[in-house]
């Protein structure tokens, strides 16, 4: 398909009555191919109809241009027909006359017989042969919309534009019209752009779905390719493997936009107080045992103690929500998987670098690889048992869940598999799943296992759903688990606040590590406000002899929150994570890896915070010791990558980082 419509870097600004301006759309770029069906979806006020109107020529962009077949769109015309939700039929004309009015106007030079044939053809096309002489008042809503579709198509437009054409119809009528529209578009190779609020409609009709962010300043938040083959049947598309993943992707995006809107409405300007640049913070977290330092800092007053008077904890269901919050700038900071700051900085998010820094490791350990009871009942107790099962599966896929490409769960799971001669990209299928969904999916049989942190491994064991075949105590004891991450530009703008935040969380880590506080913290975490789960599943230390197994003893991997070398960000560890993400194609390995490590690991901020609290900051570099005995060469990471036997064809590239503004001296 050739390029047909081009939307080139357009902005749309409306003047307000008070002399101000409202930026409806900002920096929209979109290319539409001939014969393609594209849907625009987003919440009310995101500029969907505004964008459609500019493609139709009913409005002009404030900046940028829209072209059709290389020619700038400056005004409406019969080459661009719009179908509105309200039908726009002339009430005193019949079905045939409404269609004829458009055909006669556009095709004045055509013989009368030809025009008559076109009118009758399109009446038949939409199944209105029995209603040709009826006026709009005698028609149902669905019939009126069919007249509008026939009228639009009868003049043979180059581009069909639909503004929520089925929004006012009942479900049955809407479904029938959707199938008619698909059939017509496929038969005549119509190029169409449609505005919709209906997720299922977008998946059913579209080749691509363009998701628009909230206004003001709305832009394209993502474009989904719909890989469901045509012709499509409304009752059959739900059987396609991609249907529910596409639907879930759109719903996630729309829910995130709704949450962002609430956070923006809630968010006030920075409040400076106590010598800090900002004391009102929004900090993101995912409900896990590892979130304990954030919960404790808030509930036990450590934030307030260090001058952070107004801290809100924003609960996200998945790490993707944390990424969106940091990338979008509506979170000041967040609990993150240890590899996420490097992943974001090195371009893991949409292949663009978002420099993120970490000055605190909040937890170590606490992860395990859990397999289903079904596999246990088949005699799968070890990694070798699992490998033999895969060899005998004859292509039957086995799916394992992990929580995010940058998480230690993904990296440790892949390392463990590869070390046992199991290719994580060929021999199994790895699927990203929110942590809280893991046990439910294991019980449902949609996955065969997962790697995640607590409480989900212990819970699977206690409920008889699965067993831990390995914990991180066996794979890499005392590895970094969760870290504090903030954007680099935020850290530069708020140096004193950054130190205060690290101090509050470091004290909270020490509080979590005290066995005398365990029951109190378990009760806090179990509440509806935080983890909303049974307290029996939550353990900070040794869970009274429990094991994550179904009878084959496996030592429980509890979190380390505080202690010697626990909380300091260590560049060698971040470098190892960088090599593993490059090994599996999540990021290119950066040529400027030294620069990235120096900018990600803010050892100076950690040391300042620790010294002011009176904690020891001495550090001795230790080698990374994984279970298979392979030595990590931190001096030559590329040589280390090249010696790995199982890996993807990784790339090496320069990561272009913005030059940071020098941070002011700490007060």
Q: Which two tokens stand for residue 316?
A: 């996200």
pLDDT given at position 141: 86
- Specify whether the CB–CB gap between 490 and 328 falls below 8 A: no
* Start-end of H helices in 539-667: 571-583, 593-600, 603-613, 637-643
- Specify whether the CB–CB gap between 52 and 40 falls below 8 A: yes
Alpha-carbon gap, residue 100 to 616, rounded angstroms: 86
3-state secondary structure of 230: coil
Alpha-carbon gap, residue 158 to 137, rounded angstroms: 30
DSSP symbol at 352:
B
- Specify whether the CB–CB gap between 99 and 115 falls below 8 A: no
Alpha-carbon gap, residue 246 to 253, rounded angstroms: 11
- Specify whether the CB–CB gap between 367 and 451 falls below 8 A: yes
The stretches in the chain having pLDDT less than 50 are 662-667
pLDDT given at position 666: 31
pLDDT digits (tens, 9 = 90+) for 537-568: 888 876 555 555 665 555 667 899 999 889 99
- Specify whether the CB–CB gap between 344 and 326 falls below 8 A: yes
Half-sphere exposure of residue 519: CA atoms within 13 angstroms, side-chain side? 2
Mutual orientation of helices 95-106 and 112-125 as an angle, nearest 10°? 130
Alpha-carbon gap, residue 363 to 365, rounded angstroms: 7
pTM: 0.82
Alpha-carbon gap, residue 399 to 304, rounded angstroms: 45
pLDDT given at position 552: 54
pLDDT given at position 661: 54
pLDDT digits (tens, 9 = 90+) for 156-180: 888 999 898 887 777 887 788 888 8
Q: How many helices (H) and strands (E) does the chain have?
A: 24, 22
Taking alpha carbons only, the member of 167, 136, 140 closest to residue 151 is 136
How many Å separate Cα 8 from the centre of its chain?
Answer: 25
H helix or E strand, kind and range, residue 388:
helix 383-392
* DSSP notation for 332-343: SEEEEETTHHHH
pLDDT given at position 638: 94
Torsions phi, psi for 49 (to 5 deg): -70, -35
Q: Pseudo-torsion of CA 116, 122, 128, 130, nearest 10°?
A: 30
Alpha-carbon gap, residue 645 to 502, rounded angstroms: 40
Domains in the chain with CATH codes: 3-259 (3.40.50.300), 273-364+479-653 (3.40.190.10), 367-475 (3.40.190.10)
Q: Pseudo-torsion of CA 350, 351, 354, 357, nearest 10°?
A: 110
Alpha-carbon gap, residue 184 to 127, rounded angstroms: 12
Alpha-carbon gap, residue 455 to 465, rounded angstroms: 14
Q: Residue 601 contacts by C-beta under 8 Å, 6 or more apart in sequence?
A: 357, 358, 569, 570, 571, 574
Alpha-carbon gap, residue 278 to 258, rounded angstroms: 25
pLDDT given at position 334: 98
What per-residue string of b and e applies to 327-341 under the rule 16 or more CB within 10 Å gives b? beebbbbbbbbbbbb
CA angle 474, 478, 479 (to 5 degrees): 95
Pairing state between β 191-196 and 37-41: parallel
Alpha-carbon gap, residue 357 to 574, rounded angstroms: 11
Q: Which two tokens stand for residue 42?
A: 């987003």
How many Å separate Cα 638 from the centre of its chain?
Answer: 30
pLDDT given at position 663: 42
Mutual orientation of helices 408-419 and 571-583 as an angle, nearest 10°? 60
Q: Write down the residue that tokens 């994580």 correspond to.
A: 424
Q: Residue 379 contacts by C-beta under 8 Å, 6 or more apart in sequence?
A: 385
DSSP symbol at 291:
G
Half-sphere exposure of residue 63: CA atoms within 13 angstroms, side-chain side? 12
pLDDT given at position 662: 46
Q: Pseudo-torsion of CA 439, 442, 446, 451, nearest 10°?
A: 80
Alpha-carbon gap, residue 266 to 277, rounded angstroms: 19
Mutual orientation of helices 319-328 and 243-266 as an angle, nearest 10°? 50
Alpha-carbon gap, residue 164 to 622, rounded angstroms: 61
* DSSP notation for 175-190: HHHHHHHHHHHHHHT-
Q: Residue 355 contacts by C-beta under 8 Å, 6 or more apart in sequence?
A: 344, 345, 487, 488, 489, 599, 600, 657, 658, 660
Q: Residue 611 contacts by C-beta under 8 Å, 6 or more apart in sequence?
A: 617
3-state secondary structure of 658: coil
pLDDT given at position 157: 86
């Amino acid at each position: 398909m050739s390029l047909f419509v081009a939307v080139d870097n357009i902005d749309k600004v409306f003047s307000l009555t008070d002399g101000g301006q409202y930026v409806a759309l900002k920096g929209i770029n979109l290319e539409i191919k001939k014969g393609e069906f594209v849907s625009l979806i987003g919440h009310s006020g995101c500029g969907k109809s505004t964008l459609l109107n500019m493609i139709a020529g009913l409005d002009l962009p404030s900046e940028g241009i829209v072209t059709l077949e290389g020619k700038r769109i400056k005004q409406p015309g019969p080459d661009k027909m719009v179908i509105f939700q309200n039908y726009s039929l002339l009430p005193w004309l019949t079905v045939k006359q409404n269609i004829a009015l458009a055909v006669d106007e556009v095709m004045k030079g055509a013989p009368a017989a030809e025009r008559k044939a076109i009118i009758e053809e399109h009446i038949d096309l939409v199944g209105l042969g029995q209603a040709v002489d009826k006026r709009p008042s005698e028609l149902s809503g669905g019939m009126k919309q069919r007249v509008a579709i026939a009228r639009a198509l009868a003049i043979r437009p180059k581009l069909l534009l639909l503004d929520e054409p089925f929004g006012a119809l009942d479900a049955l009528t809407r479904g029938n019209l959707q199938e008619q529209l698909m059939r017509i578009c496929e038969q005549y190779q119509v190029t169409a752009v449609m505005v919709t609020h209906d997720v299922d409609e977008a998946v059913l009709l579209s080749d691509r779905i363009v998701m628009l962010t909230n206004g003001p300043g709305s832009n394209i938040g993502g474009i989904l390719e719909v890989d469901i083959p045509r012709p499509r049947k409304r009752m059959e598309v739900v059987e396609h493997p991609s249907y529910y993943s596409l639907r879930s992707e759109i719903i996630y995006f729309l829910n995130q936009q709704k949450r962002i809107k609430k956070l923006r409405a809630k968010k006030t300007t920075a409040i400076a107080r106590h010598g800090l640049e900002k004391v009102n913070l929004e900090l993101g977290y995912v409900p896990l045992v590892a979130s304990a330092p954030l919960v404790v800092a808030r509930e036990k007053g450590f934030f307030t103690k260090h001058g952070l008077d107004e801290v809100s904890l924003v609960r996200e269901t998945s790490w993707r929500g944390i990424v969106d919050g940091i990338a979008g700038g509506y979170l000041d900071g967040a609990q993150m998987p240890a590899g996420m700051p490097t992943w974001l900085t090195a371009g893991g998010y949409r292949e663009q670098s978002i420099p993120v820094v970490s000055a605190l490791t909040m937890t170590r350990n606490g992860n395990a690889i859990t397999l289903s009871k079904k596999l246990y009942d088949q005699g799968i107790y070890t990694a070798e048992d699992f490998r033999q099962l895969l060899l005998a599966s004859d292509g039957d896929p086995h799916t394992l869940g992990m929580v995010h490409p940058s998480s230690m769960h993904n990296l440790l799971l892949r390392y463990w598999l590869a070390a046992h001669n199991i290719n994580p990209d060929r021999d199994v299928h790895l699927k990203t799943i929110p942590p809280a969904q893991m046990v439910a999916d294991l019980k449902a049989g949609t996955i065969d296992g997962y790697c995640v942190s607590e409480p989900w491994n212990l819970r699977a064991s206690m409920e008889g759903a699965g067993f831990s075949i390995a914990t991180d105590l066996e794979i890499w004891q005392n590895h970094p688990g969760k870290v504090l991450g903030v954007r680099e530009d935020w850290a530069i703008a708020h140096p004193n606040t950054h130190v205060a935040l690290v101090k509050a969380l470091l004290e909270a880590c020490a509080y979590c590590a005290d066995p005398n506080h365990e029951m109190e913290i378990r009760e806090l975490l179990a509440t509806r406000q935080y983890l909303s789960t049974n307290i029996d599943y939550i353990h900070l230390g040794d869970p009274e002899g429990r094991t994550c197994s179904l009878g084959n003893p496996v030592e429980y991997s509890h979190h380390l929150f505080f202690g010697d070398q626990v909380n300091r960000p260590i560049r060698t560890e971040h470098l190892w994570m960088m090599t593993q993400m490059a090994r599996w194609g999540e990021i290119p390995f950066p040529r400027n890896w030294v620069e990235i490590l120096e900018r990600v690991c803010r050892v100076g901020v950690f040391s300042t915070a620790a010294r002011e609290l009176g904690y020891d900051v001495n550090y001795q570099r230790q080698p990374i010791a994984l279970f298979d005995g392979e030595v990590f060469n931190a001096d030559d990471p590329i040589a280390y990558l090249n010696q790995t036997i199982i890996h993807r064809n990784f790339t090496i590239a320069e990561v272009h980082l913005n030059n940071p503004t020098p941070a002011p001296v700490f007060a």
